Amino acid sequence: MLRMEKVSFSYKVKKLKKNILEDFSISLQSGENLCICGDSKSGKSTLLYLMSGLKKPDAGSVFFNSMALNRMEKKKLEELRQKEFGFIFQKHFLINYLSIRENIMIAAVKRENESKRRLELFCEMLGITELMDTFPYQLSPVQKYRVSIARALINSPKIIFADEPMANLDCTNQRLLVNLLFDYCERSGCSVIMTTMDSHTESFFDNKIHLKSLLTSAGTCDD
């Protein structure tokens, strides 16, 4: 379903080239989950963005099914990401002046009736039905994470990309919410690719990639 073939990527920091990946290859089948582990500034987010087409590699190719993401036109790539991928970020990016219902539905691309049915299903699954008419600033961190999961799932994605989504949650809530996400993915065939620097979050995954820190005194790169 998703594969990277001999991908290389680097940053230029103060005229110095910092290699993040070099001839990196990996393959992920439908329903498989992957954890990208490493310290701060190890390149975790960069790898996640390369996998999802948010960044383009310097060399090599990233394929979703038979489509090379790094060679797609920008508009077609955006449409594919919206339909086939779901995203969960540490900062959630919820819009404070929109209700929780509106924050979830703003990401919907399918027919309105179908999206509304899916909204009801996910809100019940995640225990947030009673929050639909509230606003993000009224929610706890755990509730915001649940809303972010619902928004990521609203279009029935094939892959969920999660960038340090549970950094501010305690161990109990990490396990609870990861289990909810994994249970859904097991039933639907969806895959989760998650970055973390937390050993407890890492322990939920069988498939893992460990990245070493590339931070030097010359500068920094993305997480």
Which domains are delineated in the chain?
30-58+74-211 (3.40.50.300)
Prediction pTM value = 0.89
What are φ and ψ of residue 96, in 5° steps? -65, -30
pLDDT (tens digit, 9 = 90+) per residue, 12-25? 777 777 888 899 99
More confident residue, 216 or 78: 78
pLDDT (tens digit, 9 = 90+) per residue, 115-165? 888 899 889 989 999 999 999 999 998 899 899 999 999 999 999 999 998
Q: Count of residues for the chain?
A: 223
pLDDT (tens digit, 9 = 90+) per residue, 176-210? 888 888 988 998 999 999 999 988 889 999 899 99
